[in-house]
Amino acid sequence: MSRSLRWLVAIACALVYSAPLLWLLTASLRETADIFRSGLGGVLAAQGWTLDNYATAIRRAGLLHAAGVSLAQIAVIAGGGLLVNSMAAFAFARLQFAGRDLAFSAVVALIILPVEVLAIPLFFTARELGLGGSGGRSLLALSLPFVAKAFNIYFLRQQFFSLPTELEEAALLDGAGVWRQFWSIALPAIRPALATVVLLDLLTHWSDFLWPLLMSTRADTRTVQVALAGLFTAPPVDWGAILACAVLSTLPVLCAFRFFQRYVVLSDARAGIR
């Protein structure tokens, strides 16, 4: 296959996969009456373009406040997770203790459990602990159950295994303890992997709906996805505002993935995970 033909096939595939996103963006700029006209005439017509849908979406969904709640949730999960998961991963990769392999097998087994299985037990546990409501308690309810993650521990353990042990052995000869080896030697060496798990947390919890729906009992604790879902149930149902809200909620994820993409590729190559 010639190079030009490969480019044509690649462009055609890209257009097919990006067509829903292009339609979403275009339709969000149209008046509601033009969105569902037959064919592409309504969406691509010369008249009827507007930015009012975005203003309506921000106002009706409280999108700015919801985005702040989602970002605060992700900051707690990603920030706490970097410390907790990296320490657990380093212990499984480098330390020798009784039951290490059995404990790691239990961690790996947890990867297969979806959040739907854990949602109800987590909900009752959070209620018993007095989490929820508003303010800091609501943020803890949204974030705390997801700080420690089985997949992140597994992924970071693989990254620590990819590091040469000679670095830590040299630090040990210089008098560095386990904490110093972890904090000053091993952790800076896997920065691409740390950026990758931050991106994974962002992708997961920015789009999370079930758990915030269970815990966001007040309007001021709604995350982005719960706020978006509210536009479907709060009359009048304005599809232009719904599509505009979907565009605005997608942009941060696209920007974050574009920024962290090189770290994802680098950490994937180092760990040998495909």
Tokens of 151: 């997949």
Based on the domain organization, do 143 and 23 belong to the same domain?
no
Based on the domain organization, do 14 and 139 belong to the same domain?
no
Residue 125: how many other CB atoms lie within 10 Å? 13
Based on the domain organization, do 16 and 142 belong to the same domain?
no
Rg (CA), the chain: 23
The C-alpha atoms of residue 12 and residue 4 are separated, in whole angstroms, by 12
Based on the domain organization, do 226 and 266 belong to the same domain?
yes
Domain assignment of residue 266, yes or no: yes
Q: How many helices (H) and strands (E) does the chain have?
A: 16, 0
User: What parts of the chain have a pLDDT lower than 70?
Assistant: 1, 37-48, 133-135, 265-274
For residues 263 and 196, is the Cβ–Cβ distance under 8 A? yes
Range of the domain at 43: 1-50
Domain assignment of residue 88, yes or no: yes
Instruction: Fill in the DSSP letter of residue 184.
Output: I
Distance in angstroms between the alpha carbons of the first and the last residue of the chain: 26
For residue 97, give the 3-state DSSP assignment: coil
Which of these, 255, 264, 92, 252, lies nearest to 191 by C-alpha position?
264
Which pLDDT score, from 0 to 100, does residue 215 have?
A: 87
Based on the domain organization, do 33 and 91 belong to the same domain?
no
Domain assignment of residue 122, yes or no: yes
For residue 64, give the 3-state DSSP assignment: helix
Domain assignment of residue 55, yes or no: no
Residue that has been written with the tokens 């992708």 in this structure: 203
Which pLDDT score, from 0 to 100, does residue 265 have?
A: 59
Which pLDDT score, from 0 to 100, does residue 273 have?
A: 43
For residues 93 and 193, is the Cβ–Cβ distance under 8 A? no
Which pLDDT score, from 0 to 100, does residue 135 have?
A: 63
Which pLDDT score, from 0 to 100, does residue 118 have?
A: 86
Which of these, 196, 208, 197, 211, lies nearest to 249 by C-alpha position?
208
Tokens of 189: 């060496």
- The number of distinct structural domains making up the chain is 2
Return the biggest CA–CA distance within the chain. Answer: 74
Rounded to two decimals, the pTM is 0.85
Domain assignment of residue 56, yes or no: no
